[in-house]
């Protein structure tokens, strides 16, 4: 659960994650009671706080430490996947916008 929360936190716009225990149980393939117990444990440890469908990451380094080592590997691979190769042609974003805008008639 720590790894999954970290991965979602990486992609979130803000600090609060809008997830219920029910949603997390479906995403993780666990029963809701297990998710609740894990969330309570993480909240007691000061890693997260949660209330009515919102989870707030309070201690990201602590959450990373509580996560398995696979989080760092997955994050590294995902970041590498999203980074264009050095041989890729880089265009100016203004040029791209001009080409993508429809021509007014």
30, two tokens: 């666990």
Each residue's pLDDT tens digit, 28-60? 999 999 999 999 999 999 999 999 899 999 999
Residue 6 falls within a domain, yes or no? Answer: yes
In-domain check, residue 103: no
Query: pLDDT tens-digit profile of 90-101?
Result: 666 566 556 566
Q: Is residue 26 part of a domain?
A: yes
Q: How many domains does the chain have?
A: 1
pTM of the entire predicted model: 0.69
In a domain, 99, yes or no: no
Please state, in angstroms and rounded to a whole number, the distance separating the CA atoms of residues 38 and 44.
10
The answer to whether residue 53 sits within a structural domain is yes
Half-sphere exposure of 84 (CA within 13 A, CB side): 6
Domain that holds residue 39: 2-84
Give mean pLDDT, residues 64-91: 81
Q: What is the CATH classification number for the domain harbouring 26?
A: 1.10.10.10
């Amino acid at each position: 659960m720590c790894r999954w929360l970290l991965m979602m936190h990486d992609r979130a716009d803000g600090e609060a994650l809008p997830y219920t225990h029910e949603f997390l149980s479906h995403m993780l393939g666990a029963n809701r009671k297990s998710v609740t117990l894990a969330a309570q444990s993480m909240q007691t440890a000061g890693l997260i706080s949660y209330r009515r469908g919102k989870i707030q990451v309070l201690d990201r380094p602590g959450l990373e430490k509580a996560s398995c080592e696979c989080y760092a590997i997955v994050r590294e691979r995902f970041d590498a996947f999203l980074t264009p190769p050095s041989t890729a042609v880089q265009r100016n974003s203004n040029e791209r916008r001009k080409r993508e805008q429809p021509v007014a008639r």
